[in-house]
Amino acid sequence: MELIDGKKISAEIKEEIALEVKKIKQAGGKTPHLAAILVGHDGGSETYVAHKVKACEFVGFESSLIRYEDDVIEAELLAKIDELNNDVQIDGFIVQLPLPKHISEEKIIEAINPDKDVDGFHPVNVGRMSIGLPSFVSATPAGILQLLKRYNIDISGKHCVVLGRSNIVGRPVSILLSQKADVGNATVTVCHSRTANLKELCLQADIIIAALGVPEFLTGDMVKEGTVVIDVGTTRVKSDKTKSGWKLKGDVKFDEVAEKCSYITPVPGGVGPMTIVSLLKNTLLAAKGEIY
Amino acid sequence: MELIDGKKISAEIKEEIALEVKKIKQAGGKTPHLAAILVGHDGGSETYVAHKVKACEFVGFESSLIRYEDDVIEAELLAKIDELNNDVQIDGFIVQLPLPKHISEEKIIEAINPDKDVDGFHPVNVGRMSIGLPSFVSATPAGILQLLKRYNIDISGKHCVVLGRSNIVGRPVSILLSQKADVGNATVTVCHSRTANLKELCLQADIIIAALGVPEFLTGDMVKEGTVVIDVGTTRVKSDKTKSGWKLKGDVKFDEVAEKCSYITPVPGGVGPMTIVSLLKNTLLAAKGEIY
C-alpha cells in the first residue's frame, strides 16, 4: 500500500507555480491577481480564505480579499462582481460559499464572467468541461486528477466507482474520469444514496472516489485487493484528542481499507491540500489567457 | 417482452402540444415559432429539417427555414444568428449540424442565445442540465427519458449501463438518469471503446442505453433476462430489400436481444421519432418562457 501524499504533491505544484510567476515577472509580465469575496464570518470559510491568501503570497500572486457582513444585500454583491468582471487588474475571482440564505448562490455564480470564474462553478465552465472544451475545472475534481496523474496511476479502461453525485465533486469528477483525455478513459459508475447494490459495485472497482460526506462509510469489506481509493470526505467530528476539540473524518474507514489498497489518500493530507493549488493553477491559466 | 413504440408515443405528445398551441392561440397568445438554419444539401440534414417543418405545421407552430449554400462564410452565419437572437418573433432556433469544415461548430453554437437554444447544445444549457437547473435538454436524451416515463419504467436505484460517451447522447443521458428527479436516481455506468469488461457490466444492467453507433453491437449473450434496452443507434447500411437501397440499423442485434428483454425499442420506430417531438417541446417551453 502506498499513501498518496497530497501535502507533498501540492507543495511541489506550488513550487512550480511560484517558478512560473517568477519568470513572468522577470519578463516584465503582469503579476497574476486573485480576488476573493467573503460574506460573513463562518469559521470554515474564514480558514479557507485565509489559506488562499497565504497560498497566493507564497507563489507570488497578488490577492485581494473583499469582505461583507452577513446582512449585505444581493444587489451590492452583484455590483461588486460587475466591477471585478471589468477590472483588468483582476485575472480571476471567487465568491466563497456558502452565502447567507437571502442571497441566491445561483444568481451570484451566473453573474461572474466565465473567463474569470476560477472556481469553475459557472454553467458555461461546467458545460464546456462536460463537452470536453477548455474550461476552468473546479478545485476538488482537478485536484483528484492531479493526484492520479502525479502518482502515475493508469485509469484508462479501468472501472472507477464514484460515490456521490454532487455538483462540486461527484458529478464533475465522474465526467472527467471517463473523457478521452490523458487522465481519463475510465469506465465510470456513479453511485449515490439510492443505489441498490453499492457494495457489489464497490467490490468490482479498480478505483473508488468516495465523496458522499458520510464519515467512514467505505469499510474494508467493500473493497477488493489492490484498489485505488481517493477519499474526498472531510466531515468535522468532535474529538477529545485534538486541541481544537474537532477532527476531520474522511468517507473511508482508513485502517480497514488501507491494507487492501494499492494506493490510498489519507484525511487530512490527501485531497484537501490539492484544492487550493487547483485554484492557484486556474488563476495562472486565467492570467495567461489559456482557457478563453 | 413489450415493444416500446416511439412512433405511438411521439404521436401522442404531438397531439398534446397541438392542443396546447390551440389553447394559446384561442387565448390570444403568440404562436410559437421555430426557425432552422440549414447549410448545404446533405441528404440526412435535408430529410431531418423537412420533418421538422412538417412537425411544426402539424402542431400549429410557425416555422422558418433559412438556407445557405455550402460556401457560406462563418461571419454571415453569425450575423444571421445575431438577427435571430434579437428577433422577438422567433422563440427558438437551431442550426442543423454537421456544418461545412470551414465553419467552427463550436463558435456557431456558442453564438446562439441560450434562451433560444432549443437544441440544448450551448454550454450554458449543458452546464445547467448537469447542475440540475432548468435548461433546454437536447432532443435524444430528452426523448429517451420520455419513453421511460410514459412506459412507467421505474429506474430509481436500478443499474443503468450507457454504451457511449458522446456529447449529444451518452454523456447527457448518463447525467440525467442519475440525477435526483422523477425519471432519475439510477446508478449509471458509462462504457465506451476503452472499457475493459463491457460484457460483464452489460450482464449486470437493469437498463442498457446503446449509443455507440456500431450496428448490432449488443448481442444476446450480453444481456440478462428482463433487461430494458433502449437502442439509440441509427447507422445507414446498404440493403437490397428496400426501395431506397438503404436500411437503418440499430446498435442492438434485435432478434437475439429482444427475447430476453422486458422492454425494448425497435429501430426504426423507437428513439428516432422522439427526437423531433423533444425539439417541439423545447420550442413550446421557450415560447412560454418556462426555462429562462
Return averaged pLDDT per consecutive 10 residues of chain A, 292 residues in all: 98 98 97 98 91 97 97 98 98 97 97 98 98 97 98 98 98 98 97 96 98 97 98 93 90 98 98 97 97 94
Orientation angle between helical segments B170-178 and A123-131, nearest 10 degrees: 130
- Alpha-carbon distance B62 to nearest alpha carbon in chain A (angstroms): 30
**Residue among A124, A167, A178 whose CB faces B165 most closely:** A178
DSSP per-residue codes, B209-258: EE-S--TT-B-GGG--TTEEEEE---EEEE-SSSSSSEEEE-SB-HHHHH
| Domain residue limits, chain B | 32-114, 139-273
* The pLDDT value given to residue A244: 86
Which is catalytic among the residues B14, B52, B249, B253? B52
The nearest CA of chain B is from the CA of A91 a distance in Å of 22
CB B172 within 8 A of CB B209: no
**Which chain A residue's Cα is nearest to B131?**
A167
- Is A171's Cβ below 8 Å from some Cβ in B? yes
Active-site residue, B119 included: yes
Say which residue the cell 451590492 belongs to.
A76
Contact B187 A171 (CB under 8 A): no
How do B33-39 and B187-191 pair as beta strands?
unpaired
How close is the nearest chain B Cα to the Cα of A143, in Å?
A: 20
Size of interface A-B (CB pairs under 8 A): 109
Architecture in CATH for domain B32-114 = 3-Layer(aba) Sandwich (3.40)
Topology classification of domain A28-114: Rossmann fold (3.40.50)
Name the H helices within chain B: 6-26, 43-59, 74-86, 105-111, 123-131, 139-150, 170-178, 198-204, 254-258, 272-287
Judge whether A52 counts as a catalytic residue. yes
| Shortest CA distance from A200: residue in chain B | B204
Q: What whole-number distance in Å separates Cα of residue A190 and Cα of residue B269?
A: 30
Which residues lie below 8 Å from residue B124, measured CB to CB, with a gap of 6+? A123, A124, A127, B114, B117, B135
Point out the residue among B126, B156, B179 whose CB comes nearest to the CB of A130.
Answer: B126
Q: Is the CB of B132 less than 8 angstroms away from the CB of A190?
A: no
Grid coordinates of A157? 479502461
pTM flag (> 0.95): yes
Contacts of A128 in chain B (CB under 8 A): 123, 127
Annotated catalytic residue within B5, B91, B117, B119: B119
Q: How many other C-beta atoms lie within 10 A of the C-beta of residue A242?
A: 10
Same fold, B32-114 and B139-273: yes
- Among residues 149-168 of chain A, which lie with CB inside 8 Å of chain B? 156-159, 165, 167
* The one-letter amino acid at A159: H
Q: Contact B178/A185, CB-based, under 8 Å? A: no
For domain B139-273, give the CATH number.
3.40.50.720
Task: Output the pLDDT for position A282.
Answer: 98
Q: Which of B115, B124, B176 to mutate to test the interface with A (most CBs of A within 10 A)?
A: B124
Task: Read off the pLDDT of residues A170-204 as tens digits, 9 standing for 90 and up.
Answer: 999 999 999 999 999 999 999 999 999 999 999 99
> What residues of chain B score a pLDDT lower than 70?
none
Contact A187 B167 (CB under 8 A): no
Nearest residue, CB atoms, A131 vs list B167, B180, B189: B167
Max CA separation in chain B (angstroms): 58
- Tell me which residue in A124, A167, A187 faces B123 most closely, judged by beta carbons: A124
The whole-number pLDDT of residue B244 equals 86
Cross-chain Cβ contact A130/B195 below 8 Å: no
The third-level CATH classification (topology) of the domain covering A139-272 is: Rossmann fold (3.40.50)
Asked if A123 lies within 8 A of B128 by C-beta distance, the reply is yes
Contact A277, A285 (CB under 8 A): no
Tell me the one-letter amino acid at A240.
D
The answer, yes or no, to whether the previous bond of A32 is cis (omega within 30 of 0) is no
- Quick check: is B52 catalytic? yes
Nearest to A157 among B132, B188, B194 (CB): B194
pLDDT digits (tens, 9 = 90+) for A3-33: 999 999 999 999 999 999 999 999 999 999 9
Q: What is the full DSSP assignment across A115-146? A: GGBTT--SHHHHHHHHHT-S-PPPHHHHHHHH
Q: Which residues of chain A are within 8 Å of residue B185 when distances are taken between CB atoms? A: 192, 194
For residue B262, give every residue at least 6 positions away whose Cβ sits within 8 Å of its Cβ, in sequence order, or none.
B1, B2, B226, B227, B228
Please count the other Cβ atoms lying within 10 Å of the Cβ belonging to residue B16: 14
